[in-house]
Amino acid sequence: MTSTRDKVSTAVLMGTVVVALVGCPGIPFPIGGTYDQGFDEGFAKDDEYWLGYDDCDATEDDDPIYYSGGDIPDVASPEYDRGYWDGVWYAYNDGYFVCYDYAFTIGFSEGYDAAFYPGFLDFLATDFHVEYDNGGWGDGYNDGFSEGRIFGAADYEAGWPLDWLDALLDYRSGTDLYFDEVDLGTGEFGPVYLYEYGTDPLSFKSATAPRATGPVPAVRKGAAKADAPAISYRTLTAGRQADLDVTPVSVARNGRAPTLATSWLDRVNAYLGATKSATAKSGQKNRRARAATD
């Protein structure tokens, strides 16, 4: 299901008549309502947002995939109906992608920590990246870990203090690093294939498959399409906060005990707080980019 606001606007072609679905129980569709009215109603559905989040959270490894965005109807008319279901689609995919984004953040912090020590080259040479390409929790964690390890190794080699969050912001601004000694790096120099927002992994589950057109993923530099709403990071519910309120004492992809003493929830909150002020860094050449060109 890849219904987007711009695609839906051209859904009625050559006079084709599509019978509109009635809404969910208890949500009457007003006659003559506008697309924007419907979209706002659909996008406000927290239950769809958290369904997407939980579907991502339940997708921990290669199988099964819990993505259910394809169950959302693709309605061509009337205006309110198609706006409503498009809003529902965006809400669901926001939740699914935000969960991946949080997992990426956590994985990045632990990969950074794992490589921040004298034996970083040996670690980079032997660590193996697992690519699930399904946008689930395990996919996000491993994607983040593999990118974070390069930054952790680079910071240690440069003699900088351990600062995974600063490294993450540099990475998300578009900075890529590369170690010639092990022929490994981030971005185009590495094995990571980022999951893209709005991509149904049930239809596009391979590293060579074409990607659905949609907003640019938030894990790298770029803004959403002009006609699409920004990805919403809604306040975590108490239960989901509790799920993240853990501090690992071991990391599966590294034999060393982690030095980070903060919980996953602490790191997610730190990331969210930092991104609110990230505009202060925009347009500035960060220290890692400067070091790579000095």
Rounded to an integer, the average pLDDT of 208-225 is: 53
Q: Which residue has the higher pLDDT, 156 or 29?
A: 156
The model's pLDDT over 70-112, given as tens digits with 9 standing for 90+, comes to 899 988 889 999 999 999 999 999 999 999 999 999 999 999 9
Query: Which two three-digit tokens encode residue 289?
Result: 């980019």
76: amino acid identity, one letter: A
Instruction: Single out the residue of 247, 294, 266, 258 nearest to residue 165, CA to CA.
Output: 266
Per-domain residue ranges for the chain? 5-293
- The pLDDT of residue 29: 54
Find out whether the peptide bond into 78 is cis, omega within 30 degrees of 0. yes
**How far lies 139's CA from each of 63, 67, 243, in Å?**
11, 13, 18
Three-state SS for 158? helix
Helix, strand and coil content of the chain, in percent to the nearest 5, comes to 45, 0, 50
pTM for this entry: 0.82
Asked whether residue 211 carries a pLDDT value surpassing 90, the answer given is no
Find out whether the peptide bond into 118 is cis, omega within 30 degrees of 0. no
- The pLDDT of residue 25: 41
Query: Which two three-digit tokens encode residue 280?
Result: 């202060």
Q: Which residue has the higher pLDDT, 291 or 162?
A: 162
The model's pLDDT over 137-159, given as tens digits with 9 standing for 90+, comes to 999 999 999 999 999 999 999 99
